[in-house]
Chain A
């Protein structure tokens, strides 16, 4: 029982980081109807950027987040303008799968050439510290990772719900034609939205690098998890992605503690298949094009 509760605590804390990655992914889908297969690669790229800032300047990965976020935001906007904009409107969704996968491979290649293929990890002084609470261990890194993910998600919600840009984004998601008639520059919303998705990947990447070792190839594992979280939450629903991330990572911790760690990695996909059978639109997705 103790092992189970311990596992669940750590599962929930990890869920926050996945929520952050998945929120960017689902946002990009909501705005552009593009399934961004490069989201995982962008997370790993940001992890490498934080790694470099940490090893060269001794900068704490948490403090590096504003820098990586800005850099990746710029990269995201660039990717949208260069690779996604030229796609023809009618088959954009299908072609974007190929294009974003190509971008993922490109990023993987660049990372391999720059940093090599061995595992890297960011070892801060507090990497192994933990607090004891009623006999349970709360690891410092995971706790702060969780808190920061919540802060980043809060910022994202604020941006979407309280700013002019957010209104434009939501309008575009609900009805791009009407949004354009009302003067929303859908093209710019797309570019900035993709940039925003990349920025959340950046924030999550800095935190991911603190939690786990990574190689350029780590994005394959990540993207499959992210896709199942996004589908579970309902494509395009940021709130759904957050809840789905916590559900998935907690249940995988429970499976690892009660059945076997060998099955815990499977949990993501079992949940995904069940959702597709029972509620194909996901927990919070609507059948029509809906709100985020």
Chain B
């Protein structure tokens, strides 16, 4: 009893201490809105802060984002900076943790007094981070948080720097299929969907459109993230014999689906995988280059794109990081585009403060390496992805016609084995 009493007292002290800290924090923040306006003289460096996952689960993608940010900063500085101000990127590691990301943005804004902030990697980290940015009225341009929860916050300072929200990335496949003459369209469809907010809804959106157009669903299966063995699922796909297979996939499950279909010797006439198949390097190494032909996916940036600054980005990336254009991760291109938007706002308005960025980006279309971008009030982009297809061992955009570099190949060629 004595002990529990003491514990209780300790608890009360802790709660009071916590409350005091929070109140002080709130006071500090209300007096700190000055961060939203550029306080430094016009030739002081433009300091942009961002939290990046350099360790933990998102480390690989986080590093790709970092390469994009750093490359943009180097490129813009080579041209004399933004409105004459040299850009300095202040990037801190969040270890892929949604709590660390909050402290990081609070430190960047309050302690380091950065001029602008860019987003972290993943929707998981973008949601809490964008709340911090909102509290201090910072514009929050983020290249990698496109899940429904990000837009459900209805933040007017948030801009997702990709052509469309993630769940709509597959709509372009439905657009293309439904643009085919009726006798060329598939009659039956199977859907294999990973139980994940970034995978399943993509396939479900396509299914809704297909069913409305009279394409019959012959098999639909949601599988959990732990699924390792796809033999049973794919055996059922084979038994259902669909014309088109739509996979709401991430990466490993996409590779496994393809490999299992090759083993089961079944090649559907059309095959779309929401993710995994859009990875130019990983996909052919994981499934074998001879098995990629005809598989479709969705993407925003691609090598050889004619979008604004894309050729320059491609060349600069290869110069800085080595490799070939095919090895460039889309996350790097999206991060680069985030910087391009800052440049574009500065060029158009002659100002570079958070309020100007927020009001400007809500109007009109903005050219980037991903194409022209525009946003709704909740920060969801209003464009669409490109339909990309594997042809002769390369990923090429095939639809819509405006950005296409080749015509779609169908029916899908058989597996190479």
**What residues of chain A have their CB less than 8 Å away from a CB belonging to chain B?**
2-3, 6-7, 10-11, 14, 116-119, 121, 123, 127-130, 132, 137, 139, 212-213, 221, 253, 256-257, 260-262, 264-265
Contacts and interface: CB of A to CB of B under 8 A. Distances in A.
Contacts of B265: 130, 132, 137
A10 B235 CA distance: 10
B259 A261 contact: no
Nearest to B236: A3
Nearest to B264: A137
Given A3-B232, A3-B239, A261 B223 contact: yes
Contacts of A121: 255, 286
Interface of B: 56-57, 59-60, 195, 221-224, 226-229, 231-233, 235-236, 238-239, 251-252, 255-256, 259, 262-265, 285-288, 291, 415, 417
Given A3-B239, A130-B265, A212 B59 contact: no
Q: Which 4 A-B pairs have the closest CB atoms?
A: A256-B232, A10-B231, A128-B262, A6-B235
Contacts of B252: 119, 213
Contacts, number: 88
B159 to A, nearest CB: 29
B232 A253 contact: yes
Given A7-B231, A10-B231, A213-B256, A117 B238 contact: no
Given A117-B60, A118-B60, A132-B265, A262 B235 contact: no
A118 B96 CA distance: 14
Contacts of A6: 231, 235, 238, 264
Contact of A119 (B251, B262, B287): B251
A208 B288 CA distance: 19
A10 B260 CA distance: 11
A128 B259 contact: yes
A261 B262 contact: no
Given A2-B239, A127-B259, A261-B221, A221 B226 contact: yes
24 contacts: A3-B235, A3-B239, A7-B235, A116-B59, A117-B59, A119-B251, A119-B252, A128-B263, A129-B263, A129-B417, A137-B264, A137-B265, A212-B229, A212-B256, A213-B255, A213-B256, A253-B232, A256-B229, A257-B232, A257-B236, A262-B195, A262-B224, A264-B227, A264-B232
A137 B263 contact: yes
Contacts of A118: 60
Contacts of A3: 232, 235-236, 238-239
Contacts of A14: 229
Residue from A119, A256, A260 having most chain B Cβ neighbours under 10 A: A256
Nearest to B232: A256
A139 B263 contact: yes
A7 B264 CA distance: 11
Residue from A10, A128, A262, A265 having most chain B Cβ neighbours under 10 A: A128
A213 B287 CA distance: 12
B286 A123 contact: yes
A260 B233 CA distance: 8
Nearest to A139: B263
Nearest to A118: B60
Contact of A117 (B57, B228, B232): B57
B259 A262 contact: no
Contact of B222 (A129, A213, A262, A265): A262
Nearest to B286: A121
Contacts of B251: 119
B264 A128 contact: no
B231 A253 contact: yes
Nearest to B253: A213
A129 B229 CA distance: 16
B288 A212 contact: no
Contacts of A2: 235, 239
Contact of B417 (A128, A213, A264): A128
B33 to A, nearest CB: 39
B288 A116 contact: no
B274 to A, nearest CB: 17
A130 B263 CA distance: 5
A256 B233 contact: yes
Residue from B223, B231, B251, B415 having most chain A Cβ neighbours under 10 A: B231
Contacts of B287: 128
Contacts of B222: 262
A3 B260 CA distance: 13
B62 to A, nearest CB: 11
Given A116-B59, A261-B233, 16 more contacts: A3-B238, A3-B239, A7-B231, A117-B57, A118-B60, A123-B286, A127-B288, A128-B262, A128-B415, A130-B264, A132-B265, A212-B256, A213-B252, A213-B255, A221-B228, A265-B224
